[in-house]
Amino acid sequence: MHTLFAVDTQLFLLINHLPHTGLTDAVAKFFSLIGTVGLVWFVIGGLLFLKEEKKHHMFFAPIIGAGGVSYVLVELMIKPLVARVRPMASMGAIIVGSHKTDASFPSGHTTIAFAMAVVLSAYEPKFRWVFYTLAVCIALSRIFVGAHYPTDVLFGALLGWSIGASMLWVRKQFHIVTHSSK
Q: Is the peptide bond before 80 cis (omega within 30 degrees of 0)?
A: no
pTM score of the predicted model? 0.88
Report CA dihedral (108, 110, 115, 117) to the nearest 10 degrees: 150
For 89, residues 6+ apart whose C-beta sits below 8 A from its C-beta are 95, 99, 146
**What percent of the chain has a predicted confidence (pLDDT) above 90?**
62
Q: Which CATH number fits domain 17-180: 3.90.1570.10, 3.20.20.140, 1.10.606.20, 1.10.8.60?
A: 1.10.606.20
Domain parsing of the chain, residue ranges = 17-180
What one-character DSSP code corresponds to residue 91? G
Average pLDDT over residues 59-83: 91
The answer to whether residue 17 scores a pLDDT higher than 90 is: yes
Calculate Rg over the CA atoms of the chain: 18
- Write out pLDDT tens, residues 80-129: 999 999 999 888 899 998 878 889 999 999 999 999 999 999 988 999 99
